[in-house]
């Protein structure tokens, strides 16, 4: 039964999102609905999925399926998330030439783009809450400092996203792992 739930959940995610960060709200909802992960686990899931090579949805499906139901669960979740893309790609390829200049297609895309932006804004609020505020309600100043520094470096020096992610991870290890162990409070 868990395998069918994983397949259907990730197929639903694949059919109702457009890849990348737009998948996160749907992944969050599915994980919480089924009780597969906590909010903190979901934040970690997104961080891990962004750090590893490959599409976000595929990485999330692999991680979630494996955590929930072992390697077979990971495979089934991946098949679920890939089924819609494969199906839709075949359909689009078959009809693209006929409808590529259609006003209807242009109108639909005019609505899809703002919806995706709104979904991303919702994700930013959710992940920001989990990243910048402690469970007890206090602000995490080092998280804010790391985020501000990485945003500055990304914009000013045009670092690649993997380089920024690795640098953030190293700073997080220092501020939240090494310094507390050394007795330096934060």
pLDDT at 76: 97
Per-residue pLDDT band at 136 (split at 50, 70, 90): confident
pLDDT at 180: 82
Residue 133 has what DSSP assignment?
B
Summarize pLDDT for 140-165 with one digit per residue, the tens. Answer: 999 999 999 999 999 999 999 889 99
Q: Is the pLDDT assigned to residue 17 strictly greater than 80?
A: no
- Is the four-CA dihedral 175, 179, 181, 184 of positive or negative sign? negative
How much helix, strand and coil, in percent to the nearest 5, is found in the chain? 85, 0, 15
What pTM did the predictor assign? 0.55
Contact between residue 49 and residue 63 where contact means Cβ atoms under 8 Å apart: yes
Mean pLDDT of the chain: 87
Summarize pLDDT for 77-112 with one digit per residue, the tens. Answer: 999 999 988 898 888 778 766 777 888 877 887 888
Angle, helices 39-51 vs 161-173, to 10°: value is: 130
């Amino acid at each position: 039964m868990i395998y069918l739930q994983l397949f259907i959940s990730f197929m639903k995610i694949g059919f109702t999102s457009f890849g990348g960060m737009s998948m996160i709200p749907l992944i969050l909802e599915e994980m919480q609905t089924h009780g597969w992960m906590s909010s903190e686990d979901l934040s970690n899931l997104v961080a891990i999925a962004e750090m590893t090579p490959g599409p976000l949805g595929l990485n999330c499906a692999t991680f979630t399926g494996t955590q929930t139901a072992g390697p077979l669960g990971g495979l089934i979740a991946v098949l679920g998330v890939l089924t819609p893309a494969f199906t839709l790609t075949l359909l689009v390829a078959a009809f693209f030439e006929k409808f590529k200049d259609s006003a209807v297609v242009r109108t639909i895309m005019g609505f899809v783009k703002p919806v995706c932006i709104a979904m991303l804004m919702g994700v930013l609020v959710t992940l920001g809450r989990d990243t910048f505020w402690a469970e007890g309600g206090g602000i995490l100043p080092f998280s804010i400092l790391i985020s501000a520094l990485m945003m500055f470096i990304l914009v000013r020096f045009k670092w690649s996203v993997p380089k920024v992610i690795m640098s953030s991870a190293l700073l997080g290890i220092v501020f939240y792992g090494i310094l507390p162990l050394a007795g330096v409070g934060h």
